[in-house]
């Protein structure tokens, strides 16, 4: 068990000189940019972001499969930048499991233990424990490529757990499972991590996985860390426009607006007017005059009303998506197309005229230039 | 329409399929069969104007040709055993062929596999240019470089030596091995080695314990093709050797060239010459299919 610290870490992928010469491309791509992140001892931290955001590169740098261009990586109180992957006391679970196809399940699981030259009875004891924990006792003699993907997944986890490492590193390990199995494994992984208490860094692009399993989420985009926080902090108080957009389904409604004298919000199109009563602006944000902003409202923080007079904005239902436990309406308003989530008992048909009221306590405000949140 | 057709004509279609297969089979196998039966005929029967096809029916088979070829002694003359000019020469040549083809194949596959691994896994400056250069050495027929190589070999005193032929065949096969094996390595996910390295092994250990066992079908498939190339090679073997290191192909040619052509003996030599390659291919047949269809069957 150990803390993992990334201090001013940069990773630049150099472009091959032949390619540079041929295409005039710049000298390299900055995959990870000035990353500072501390993963606490025993914590389940999810690195979340779209593909190409640098999350997998970060994980591979912790593992030692990539070297950091600059910066420091600490596992416990050891700086590991110069250590080969095998000496870092970590275990890595790959997206495609990377189970050795020519070895049986039991040989796959004992493979890391044989590298450590553990005595045979210790190996046997550990394998038995892991097999019991993951319920794979019955397939130990089989070849991994003949197994269903759920069991392959368990074997890959087994190979990681059996080492009893300081840190687990997981690279989208549930991507290849079908939806129901994925939900099941999510619960199981979370349970496993609680039981073992080992620090876990988990990479995914799936916000459901991130929200449901982690203690904290680190959201990345274009190599830059956007925000670190508990799932609810990330959901309720997104610090950047990217986080607001990326987290939540359907995505947050963003209405182009102007902030007047740091108090009143008016949509650029249409009659939407809101007071900022009860909200505090960031210290450097309270300025006189107009400021271009984006007003963010989650679909569940708006309500449908029949009386269009009392509503903040009104419009016409264009699409109705009944999902069973809730219904999502797309409403075409003067301020733009807005998505509204309602309980299933509220039924409107496309073409109906409706009013929308906004829960003022739950609005978000982003500067259009900096894309940072203006509210504290 | 299609559905009604398949029911009624499936027997006809099958018949057609097997007939076509039979024609192709006969077309490719007849020459081999002809050599086989020629090797067990007497000289008179081989050169008979009316061809005979079936042993025990058309003619009485005999192993004389093989006996003569292997012992180097002529059995045929009525006055008893007679010394022949080429004492057991075929046997020596066959051993030479096994040595040169065997060692050069092992070297080509070994060296080529390592080079291919490097091309597949590491960022090598001008990697594409280097690979193209390696491939380009196969773009001209080897006979074009016959004279320069002859001069090289004379200067380096490699003529009529095992080392010479082995170096030559290794370098002829290397480009093929590099390109084949690079394709195979590209198909093996790099995560296998990464997993092994995270598990506490060095890269060399990861290659030895994980990559090579995975690559064995591909290596064997490549080895079969390399061995056949070296085994069959005639032009260089004929020109660069006198006697000591000479292989079977020039020898078979030399039988044809001396006096009355001993077709029976040529056929017997051809049969014996084919057998080692058939055995090798047969032994690795299970791997061969997987090796040749490597890219197609993986995910």
Collapsing DSSP to helix, strand or coil, A254 comes out as strand
Considering the domain architecture, whether residues B102 and B50 belong to the same structural domain is answered as no
CA-based nearest distance B209→chain A, Å: 10
B107/B101 Cα distance (integer angstroms) = 10
Testing the interface with B: which of A60, A97, A98, A155 to mutate, by most B Cβ within 10 A?
A: A98
> Residue-wise over B73-97: b if at least 16 C-beta within 10 A, else e?
eeeeeeeeeeeeebeebbebbbebb
Considering the domain architecture, whether residues B138 and B56 belong to the same structural domain is answered as no
A35/A361 Cα distance (integer angstroms) = 33
For chain A, the straight-line distance linking the first and the last C-alpha, in angstroms and rounded, comes to 35
Mean predicted lDDT score pLDDT of chain B: 85
B213/B245 Cα distance (integer angstroms) = 34
| pLDDT tens digits along A17-54 | 656 666 666 667 889 999 999 999 999 999 999 998 99
Count Cβ atoms below 10 Å from residue B44 Cβ, excluding itself. Answer: 9
- State the pLDDT at residue A237: 93
A331/A328 Cα distance (integer angstroms) = 10
B146/B235 Cα distance (integer angstroms) = 8
Domain boundary among B83, B112, B142: B83
Domain count along chain B: 2
What is the CATH number for B269? Answer: 1.10.3720.10
DSSP character for A238? -
C-alpha torsion sign, points A24, A25, A28, A34: positive
Q: Are strands A327-333 and B73-74 parallel, antiparallel or unpaired?
A: unpaired
Collapsing DSSP to helix, strand or coil, A257 comes out as strand
pLDDT at A344 over 50: yes
Considering the domain architecture, whether residues B58 and B134 belong to the same structural domain is answered as no
Q: What is the domain range of residue B55? A: 2-83
Higher pLDDT, A160 or B286: A160
- A87: closest CA among B192, B202, B200? B200
A25/A20 Cα distance (integer angstroms) = 5
Domains of chain A, first to last: 4-240 (3.40.50.300), 249-367 (2.40.50.140)
DSSP character for A68? -
B213/B219 Cα distance (integer angstroms) = 10
Count Cβ atoms below 10 Å from residue A328 Cβ, excluding itself. Answer: 17
Considering the domain architecture, whether residues B108 and B206 belong to the same structural domain is answered as yes
| pLDDT tens digits along B152-199 | 999 999 888 999 999 999 999 999 999 999 998 998 889 999 999 999
- B70: which 2 tokens? 């292997």
Q: Which residues of chain A make contact with B210, given a CB cutoff of 8 A?
A: 100
Angstrom distances, CA of residue A122 to CA of A125, A198, A300: 5, 20, 54
- A375: closest CA among A237, A233, A266? A237
Considering the domain architecture, whether residues B143 and B71 belong to the same structural domain is answered as no
Q: Which residues of chain A make contact with B195, given a CB cutoff of 8 A?
A: 92, 94, 98, 100, 159
Considering the domain architecture, whether residues B94 and B68 belong to the same structural domain is answered as no
List Cβ neighbours of A44 (8 Å cut-off, separation of 6 or more): A190, A193, A200, A202, A213, A214, A215, A216
Domain boundary among B83, B106, B138: B83
Considering the domain architecture, whether residues B145 and B127 belong to the same structural domain is answered as yes
Considering the domain architecture, whether residues B43 and B187 belong to the same structural domain is answered as no
- State the pLDDT at residue B107: 97
Query: What are the backbone angles phi and psi of residue A154, rounded to the nearest 5°?
Result: -65, -40
Q: How many helices (H) and strands (E) does chain A have?
A: 9, 20
Q: Give the mean pLDDT of A365-373.
A: 92
- State the pLDDT at residue B81: 42
- State the pLDDT at residue B53: 86
Considering the domain architecture, whether residues B74 and B95 belong to the same structural domain is answered as no
A262/B99 Cα distance (integer angstroms) = 90
B252/B268 Cα distance (integer angstroms) = 10
CA-based nearest distance A362→chain B, Å: 45
Confidence of residue A150 (pLDDT cuts 50, 70, 90): confident
Domain boundary among B83, B102, B133: B83
Considering the domain architecture, whether residues B113 and B70 belong to the same structural domain is answered as no
- A335: closest CA among A286, A274, A282, A285? A274
Q: Give the mean pLDDT of B25-43.
A: 92
CA-based nearest distance B123→chain A, Å: 8
B181/B219 Cα distance (integer angstroms) = 7
B215: nearest CA in chain A?
A: A102
Considering the domain architecture, whether residues B94 and B159 belong to the same structural domain is answered as yes
B246/B243 Cα distance (integer angstroms) = 5
Contacting A with CB below 8 Å, chain B residues are 123, 125-129, 189, 191-192, 194-202, 205, 210, 213-214
Of A64, A101, A116, the CB nearest to B214: A101
CA-based nearest distance B134→chain A, Å: 18
Q: Lowest mean pLDDT: which of A17-21, A246-250, B214-218, B232-236?
A: A17-21
- How many residues does the structure list for chain A? 376
pLDDT at A366 over 90: yes
Q: A354 with A305: CB under 8 angstroms? A: yes
- State the pLDDT at residue A320: 94
Does the beta-carbon distance from A16 to B125 stay under 8 Å? yes
Q: Give the mean pLDDT of A330-345.
A: 92
Considering the domain architecture, whether residues B196 and B48 belong to the same structural domain is answered as no
- State the pLDDT at residue B187: 87
- State the pLDDT at residue B86: 52
């Amino acid at each position: 068990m150990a803390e993992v610290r990334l201090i001013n870490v940069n990773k630049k992928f150099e472009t091959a000189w032949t390619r540079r010469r041929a295409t005039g491309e710049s000298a390299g791509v900055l995959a990870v940019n000035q990353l500072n992140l501390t993963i606490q001892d025993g914590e389940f931290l999810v690195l979340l972001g779209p593909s190409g955001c640098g999350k997998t590169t970060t994980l591979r740098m912790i593992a030692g499969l990539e070297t950091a261009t600059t910066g420091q990586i600490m596992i416990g109180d050891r700086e590991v930048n110069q250590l080969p992957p095998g000496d870092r006391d970590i275990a890595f679970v790959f997206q495609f499991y990377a189970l050795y196809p020519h070895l049986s399940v039991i040989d796959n699981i004992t493979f890391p233990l044989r590298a450590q030259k553990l005595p045979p009875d210790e190996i046997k004891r550990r394998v038995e424990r892991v097999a019991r924990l993951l319920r794979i006792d019955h397939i130990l003699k089989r070849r991994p490529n003949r197994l269903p993907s759920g069991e392959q997944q368990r074997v890959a986890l087994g190979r990681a757990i059996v080492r009893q490492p300081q840190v687990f590193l997981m690279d989208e390990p549930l991507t290849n499972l079908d939806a129901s199995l994925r939900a099941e494994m999510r619960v199981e992984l979370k349970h496993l991590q609680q039981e073992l208490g080992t620090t876990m860094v988990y990479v995914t692009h799936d916000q459901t996985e991130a929200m449901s399993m982690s203690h904290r989420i680190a959201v990345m985009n274009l190599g830059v860390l956007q925000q670190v926080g508990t799932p609810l902090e990330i959901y309720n108080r997104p610090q950047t426009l990217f986080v607001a957009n990326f987290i939540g389904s359907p995505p947050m409604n963003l209405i182009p607006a102007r902030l007047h004298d740091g108090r009143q919000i008016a949509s650029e199109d249409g009659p939407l007017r809101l007071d900022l009563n009860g909200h505090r602006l960031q210290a450097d944000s309270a300025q006189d005059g107009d400021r271009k902003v984006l007003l963010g409202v989650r679909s569940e923080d708006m309500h449908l009303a029949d009386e269009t007079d009392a509503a903040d904005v009104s419009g016409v239902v264009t699409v109705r998506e009944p999902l069973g436990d809730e219904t999502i309406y797309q409403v075409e308003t003067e301020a733009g197309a807005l998505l509204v989530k309602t309980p299933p008992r509220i039924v409107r048909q496309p073409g109906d005229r409706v009013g929308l009221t906004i829960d003022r306590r739950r609005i978000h405000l982003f500067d259009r230039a900096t894309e940072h949140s203006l509210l504290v | 329409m299609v559905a009604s057709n398949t029911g009624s004509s499936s027997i006809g279609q099958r018949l057609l399929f097997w007939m076509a297969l039979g024609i192709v089979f006969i077309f490719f196998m007849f020459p081999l069969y002809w050599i086989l039966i020629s090797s067990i005929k007497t000289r008179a029967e081989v050169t008979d104007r009316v061809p005979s096809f079936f042993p025990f029916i058309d003619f009485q088979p005999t192993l004389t040709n093989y006996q003569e070829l292997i012992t180097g002694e002529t059995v045929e003359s009525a006055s008893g055993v007679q010394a022949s000019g080429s004492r057991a020469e075929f046997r020596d040549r066959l051993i030479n062929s096994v040595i040169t083809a065997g060692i050069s194949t092992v070297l080509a596959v070994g060296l080529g596999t390592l080079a291919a691994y490097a091309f597949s896994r590491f960022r090598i400056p001008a990697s594409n240019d280097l690979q193209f250069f390696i491939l380009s050495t196969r773009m001209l027929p080897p006979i074009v470089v016959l004279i320069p190589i002859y001069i090289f070999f004379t200067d380096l005193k490699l003529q009529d030596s095992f080392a010479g032929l082995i170096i030559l065949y290794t370098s002829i096969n290397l480009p093929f091995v590099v390109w084949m094996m690079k394709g195979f390595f590209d198909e093996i996910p790099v995560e296998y080695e990464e997993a092994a390295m995270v598990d506490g092994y060095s890269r060399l250990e990861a290659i030895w314990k994980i990559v090579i066992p995975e690559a064995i079908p591909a290596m064997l498939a490549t080895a079969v093709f390399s061995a056949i190339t070296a085994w069959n090679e005639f032009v260089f073997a004929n020109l660069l050797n006198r006697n000591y290191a000479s292989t079977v192909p020039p020898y078979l040619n030399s039988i044809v060239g001396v006096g009355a052509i001993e077709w029976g003996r040529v056929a017997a030599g051809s049969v014996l010459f084919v057998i080692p390659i058939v055995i090798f291919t047969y032994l690795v047949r299970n791997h061969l299919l997987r090796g040749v269809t490597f890219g197609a069957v993986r995910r």
